[in-house]
Structures are given as C-alpha cells and as structure tokens.
Amino acid sequence: MNILLFGFMASGKSTVAKILSKKLDMDYIEMDNIIEKEANMSISEIFAEKGEKHFRMLEKNLSKKLSDSDNLIISTGGGVITDEENIANLIKNGMAFSLMVSPENVIKRTKNSAHRPLLNTKDRKKQIENLLRERNPYYEKTGYVINTNIFTPEKVAGIIIEKFKGTI
Ligand code: S3P
C-alpha cells in the first residue's frame, strides 16, 4: 500500500513526504522529479517548450505506471487530481491524503519561487484563488483532508501515520 499526498502547490507535500519517509522507513518519490528526469528537462522548460498539455500527458503516463507500485510515499503534483483516470490509477494501491492550504499561505510560501510555471502570471493572487476554487472540491473528495494552515508538517505527518497504521 502506498501513501499518496495530494494538495495544491506549496501545501507542504514534499516536506511531509520526507518526514514520513524517515519515520516509516519507506521510500518516497516526487512525481515532478521523475517527470523531469525522464524528460531531461525542468518542469518550467517542459511548460515553456512543449506546453501544459504535454506535461499533463507525461503526468498521466506516470500515474499509470505508479498504479503497480507498492510501499511508496508518493508526493503528487498539484494538478494531478483534476484527471479522473490519474486518481483511479493512483488510488488503486494507495491511501490518499489531501493537504489543504489557504490562498494566503500559498501566496506567502511561493513569494520567492519562480519554478512553478502556473504561478508566473501577472496577477498571482487571482490565479491562486481561481485554481484553488477549481481544485479544492477534487482534493476534498479524493483524500483524507488535513488542514495544513493550523498544523506543522510534523503534526501533519503524525496524523497520516496514525491513520495509515490504523488501516494496514
Ligand atoms: C502544478 C503543480 C506543480 C507541478 C506543475 C503543475 C499544478 O507541482 O506539477 O508546476 O498544476 O498545480 P507542485 O504541486 O509540487 O508545486
């Protein structure tokens, strides 16, 4: 059984995945890192040179491949969730958690980051609010919801471990 971390950009998926990996002695993978390695390009380069549609195709292929994996902590990209086939493939052998975050915290946490192509827009605040509005229903219906605005990453990991251990 895998542990799946869903959530918006800057919701803390990678940080929590690393903590979980140590505490549970399980390997963790970052879907975006695998896509970058396989394409030999950064996510920003893929978006700029091949377009978002191409990136979504790579994301879809990887979700398919991961449906056969086991015993992994999988940190997903923030947009994986909007495709039903991705969700079906990933949750086939995974317990899903959704890390929820407020627009204010996303704005704060991404202030100095330039590696997220979807946020390189004129009005970043508006873009974050719009994407969150669109995606929150998907996060909410897919995973066990955890509010990262009120918990530290350590605490979030603790909640996940408790839930995960209770069901395996
Ligand atoms: C995206 C989130 C990013 C990355 C890509 C698209 C999204 O991952 O996959 O830039 O659509 O929300 P993180 O959630 O790890 O930032």
pTM, to two decimals = 0.96
Q: How far apart are alpha carbons 80 and 76 in whole angstroms?
A: 7
Residue among 87, 29, 35, 75 nearest 57 (CA): 35
- Tell me what pLDDT residue 168 has: 57
HSE toward the beta carbon, residue 48, CA cutoff 13 A: 9
Residue from 106, 116, 136 whose mutation best tests the ligand 1 pocket (most atoms within 8 A of CB): 116
Three-class SS of residue 76? coil
| Tokens matching residue 45 | 């380069």
- Total Cβ atoms within 10 A of residue 154: 11
Q: How far apart are alpha carbons 20 and 28 in whole angstroms?
A: 8
30 lines ligand 1 (CB under 6 A): no
- Contacts of residue 23, defined as CB under 8 A and 6 or more positions apart, other chains included, come to 157, 161
Each of the 168 residues of the chain gets a pLDDT tens digit; together they read 999 999 999 999 999 999 999 999 999 999 999 999 999 999 999 999 999 999 999 999 999 999 999 999 999 999 999 999 999 999 999 999 999 999 999 999 998 888 899 999 999 999 999 999 999 999 999 999 999 999 999 999 999 999 999 875
Can you tell me which atom of ligand 1 is nearest the CA of 35?
9
Give the distance, in angstroms, between the CA of residue 81 and the centroid of all CA atoms in the same chain: 8
| Tokens matching residue 150 | 């009120």
Q: 30 CA distance to ligand 1 centroid (A)?
A: 11
- Tell me what pLDDT residue 153 has: 97
H/E stretch holding 30 reads strand 27-30
